[in-house]
Amino acid sequence: MKITALIAEDEVPQRDELRAMLADLCPDLEIVAVCEDGLSALEALESYRPQAAFLDIRMPGVSGLEVARAANNQTHVIFTTAYDEYAIKAFDSGAVDYLLKPIKRERLVLSLDRLKERVKAGSAQDLSSVLSALEGLNRVSKGGGIKWITANIGNTTKMFSIDEVLFFQAQDKYTRVVTESDEAIIRTTLKELLDGLDAEAFWQVHRSAIVRANAIRAALRRDDGRVELKIRGREETLPVSSAFQYRFKAM
Amino acid sequence: MQATYPLDRPITVNGSEKAGFYRSYPVFSWSWCWRRTMIFWPAGILFFVIQSNFLADQLGANRFIGWVLLESSVVAGLIVGTGPVLAAVVRRLRLSRRRELAAIVAALLIGVGVSYALQLRANNAMVEHWPKQFEKAVREKRMTREAADRQLQFYIRAANSPLSIVMQLLIFAGVGGAFALRAYLDERRLWESELRAQEMLALRNQRDEADRKLSVLQAQVEPHFLYNTLASVRSLVRSDPIRAEATIDALVDHLRASLPKFRDSHRMPTTLGSQLELCRSYLEVMRVRMGLRLSYSIDVAPEVAELSFPPLMLVPLVENAIKHGVEPKVGPCSVTIEARKMPGDVLEVVIKDDGAGLKEGPSDGVGLANIRAQLSARFEGRASISLNGRDGGGVIATLKLPAESVPT
């Protein structure tokens, strides 16, 4: 039984070695494409529709995880990785196979046996939940995970430490980020930000505003009962919606 | 707080002894007191001997010089010494701060009082002598009686005028150590700031020690890097032994720079140069591994490389440039490290890459956040890190910190 396979690995020697080992250990395996970055792997996936894909996770352009997502349900994925503690934990569920670099012969034999069984069993399994978990680990997910905000200011892109941010304000689909010295618009929504911000340090005070607690200089109560916040070093005030006014009762 | 600082040692300012013969000692300490007396007493004796000589001319009463010397010594000693000696006794009692101040003021007032009493005695003697003097002048027809009376009244008025009394009291206060009160009040502040300076120095030493320990911990080469490099070498062994060799050589250089040199690690401060050496060997491994897709340059003047630089800061930044800039980009990339000393003793280190660049939006980046936290903890607002996108792609990371030379 012939099995078609794809190899994606950015380092030439490792790529060549994997190909040589596969040819040696499993003559039934037909390598249809050898790719040096994520983008060419995506293209090869599209044109050859291989049954198996050996994907390096860290690759230029498009990561191995993204390629795997495109390959989902049609290709059996075997990840190769040097050392990724978090990833390996997620792999341990057994849903997806992985090879630790440097790749040992015996371990590769085991993977190939598993691959043959899976191909025999039928269609590739759904990896979307495993991939989401992995990508989640790669990106900001836990509360307080956001440490930096990257934003365009004029012609330059700047990384602000989250400690520099005074407040976030929703503007249509975008969010205005205001620091002590700059302000910028980012394409992340307020809700997405809220998930990644430390709830102790950043308070939502309005449907459209998140403020850093220690940037609040004063809470002003207007005659009509509305509450507005004065922010350190800024002229403008931010409205507080009634749902969040409990925070400022004591002020 | 009780005055607990030693009274028998000179006060130090910025680590060196305060200038001034007696003033380098704590005010109203014994050391201060006797050193001061050694200057003021002879000066006082000289003054009284001259004055006595002048008066003798005026009064026409020549006295035995031994008596003059003895009297001058006693009087000068009492005026110069009473206040300071009493104050020194007070200080030895180690009273609470407010009581000590009150007692010292009282001691100095007693000194001024004694001096003034002596002055009154001298005044009275003169006031007794003057009429005889003028009587003699009138008898010898050197003065008219009216002129002599006028002159006598003027002398007596002058001797008892409030202005002259105030002047005398001020002089006694000065000679009697009252002006040292200011220095006494300042002394605690001086001493406390010196104590703080010493604490700072101790903390700095502690920090440098911690740095040295950190540089030992730096042996923790990033695992992903190490395993990937070994995977690379393994693949090359058969296909391209020469490149395998080059990779191993580069890795050995990097490990040699990273692994602690146990024998002298406790004496080795971290310099910019040593940190740059780590970056260089790391970049060399990556260059060999990436099939020469990567090029790099490090441009730092030798005198800048000798400056002190904290560990575990530069290599993570370079690793960042590789991981987020070079690795995700297709095609050739370069990493440049430059450092220079800027005006105002600022050391600026710039790491540039022309890789994938910054992606808009939020990110974690614990490593970078750690560097930022470490900078602010270590340099308290005198250091900064900024990351900006470059025109045409890539990132420029700029570190600014105080240019400090390595502690010897």
End-to-end CA gap in chain B: 36
Q: Which of B230, B290, B360 to mutate to test the interface with A (most CBs of A within 10 A)?
A: B360
Q: Which pair of structure tokens corresponds to residue B406?
A: 């390595």
The C-alpha atoms of residue B87 and residue B135 are separated, in whole angstroms, by 46
The C-alpha atoms of residue B122 and residue B151 are separated, in whole angstroms, by 19
Mind listing the pLDDT tens digit for each residue in A122-140?
766 777 777 777 766 655 4
Give the 3-state secondary structure of residue A224. coil
Q: Is B220 on the interface with A (CB under 8 A)?
A: no
User: How far out from the chain centre does Cα B270 lie?
Assistant: 24
Given B233, B329, B360, which is nearest A152 (Cβ)? B360
pLDDT at B408: 65
pLDDT-derived band of residue A86, with 50, 70 and 90 as boundaries?
Answer: low
- In this predicted structure, the answer to whether residue A142 has a pLDDT above a threshold of 50 is no
Strand positions, DSSP E, chain A? 3-8, 29-35, 52-56, 76-81, 97-100, 148-153, 156-161, 165-171, 174-179, 183-186, 202-206, 209-212, 216-221, 227-231, 237-240
Q: Which pair of structure tokens corresponds to residue A242?
A: 């009634």
Residue A187 amino acid letter:
R
Q: What values do phi and psi take at B347, rounded to 5?
A: -95, 125
Tell me the count of A-B CB pairs closer than 8 A: 127
pLDDT at B162: 87
pLDDT at B160: 78
- In this predicted structure, the answer to whether residue A55 has a pLDDT above a threshold of 80 is yes
Mind listing the pLDDT tens digit for each residue in B43-102?
989 988 888 777 766 655 666 778 888 888 888 898 888 888 998 898 888 888 888 889
Give the mean model confidence (pLDDT) for residues B18-30: 78
Would you report the helix, strand and coil content of chain A in percent, each value rounded to 5?
35, 30, 35
Average pLDDT taken over every residue of chain A: 86
**A165: closest chain B residue by CA:** B362
**B231: closest chain A residue by CA:** A102
Higher pLDDT, B6 or B377: B377
Q: What values do phi and psi take at B142, rounded to 5?
A: -85, -20
Give the mean model confidence (pLDDT) for residues B209-226: 69
Residues of B in contact with A82 (CB under 8 A): 223-224, 227-228, 231
Q: How many CB atoms neighbour CB A3 within 10 A?
A: 19
Q: Is the CB of residue B309 less than 8 Å from the CB of residue B345?
A: no
Among A11-15, A162-166, B6-10, B191-195, the least confident range: B6-10
Among A19-28, A51-60, B5-14, B372-381, the least confident range: B5-14
Q: Is the CB of residue A67 less than 8 Å from the CB of residue A52?
A: no
Give the mean model confidence (pLDDT) for residues B317-345: 92
Question: What is the pTM (predicted TM-score) of this model?
Answer: 0.63
Cβ pair A152:B366 closer than 8 A: no
Give the mean model confidence (pLDDT) for residues A17-21: 93
Does residue A102 have a cis bond before it (omega within 30 degrees)? yes
pLDDT at B92: 85
pLDDT at B16: 65
Q: Which pair of structure tokens corresponds to residue A101?
A: 């670099």
Give the mean model confidence (pLDDT) for residues A230-247: 88
pLDDT at A250: 58
Mind listing the pLDDT tens digit for each residue in B172-193?
888 888 888 888 888 878 878 8
Give the mean model confidence (pLDDT) for residues A228-238: 90
pLDDT at B260: 64
Average pLDDT taken over every residue of chain B: 84
HSE-up (13 A, CA, CB side) for residue B185 = 8
Given A16, A82, A151, which is nearest B231 (Cβ)? A82
Higher pLDDT, A223 or B54: A223
Q: Which of A34, A85, A159, A187 to mutate to test the interface with B (most CBs of B within 10 A)?
A: A159
The C-alpha atoms of residue B153 and residue A209 are separated, in whole angstroms, by 90
Q: Is the CB of residue B27 less than 8 Å from the CB of residue B180?
A: yes
Higher pLDDT, A235 or B351: B351
Q: Is the CB of residue A54 less than 8 Å from the CB of residue A18?
A: yes
Cβ pair B365:A147 closer than 8 A: yes
Residues of A in contact with B352 (CB under 8 A): none
Residues of A in contact with B388 (CB under 8 A): 156-159
Cβ pair B232:A150 closer than 8 A: no
pLDDT at A84: 63
**B356: closest chain A residue by CA:** A61
Cβ pair A58:B327 closer than 8 A: yes
Q: Which of A7, A15, A17, A189 to mutate to test the interface with B (most CBs of B within 10 A)?
A: A17
User: How far out from the chain centre does Cα A208 lie?
Assistant: 25
Residues of A in contact with B330 (CB under 8 A): 37, 39, 60-61
- In this predicted structure, the answer to whether residue B22 has a pLDDT above a threshold of 60 is yes
Cβ pair B366:A147 closer than 8 A: yes
The C-alpha atoms of residue A179 and residue A172 are separated, in whole angstroms, by 20
Furthest C-alpha separation in chain B:
134
Cβ pair A60:B327 closer than 8 A: yes
What percent of chain B is predicted at pLDDT more than 70? 88
Assembly ipTM: 0.75
- In this predicted structure, the answer to whether residue A5 has a pLDDT above a threshold of 90 is yes
Among A168-182, A199-213, B365-379, B394-408, the least confident range: B365-379
Q: Is the CB of residue B111 less than 8 Å from the CB of residue B86?
A: yes
Residues of B in contact with A139 (CB under 8 A): 364
Residue B178 amino acid letter:
A
pLDDT at A198: 86
Q: Which pair of structure tokens corresponds to residue A237?
A: 């005030």
pLDDT at B214: 66
The C-alpha atoms of residue A9 and residue A35 are separated, in whole angstroms, by 6
Q: Identify the H or E element spanning B279.
A: helix B272-289
Give the mean model confidence (pLDDT) for residues A171-191: 91
pLDDT at B1: 38
Residues in chain A: 251
pLDDT at B3: 45
Q: Which pair of structure tokens corresponds to residue B51?
A: 């004055």
pLDDT-derived band of residue B269, with 50, 70 and 90 as boundaries?
Answer: low
End-to-end CA gap in chain A: 75
Give the mean model confidence (pLDDT) for residues B258-284: 78
Cβ pair A11:B386 closer than 8 A: no
pLDDT at A24: 93
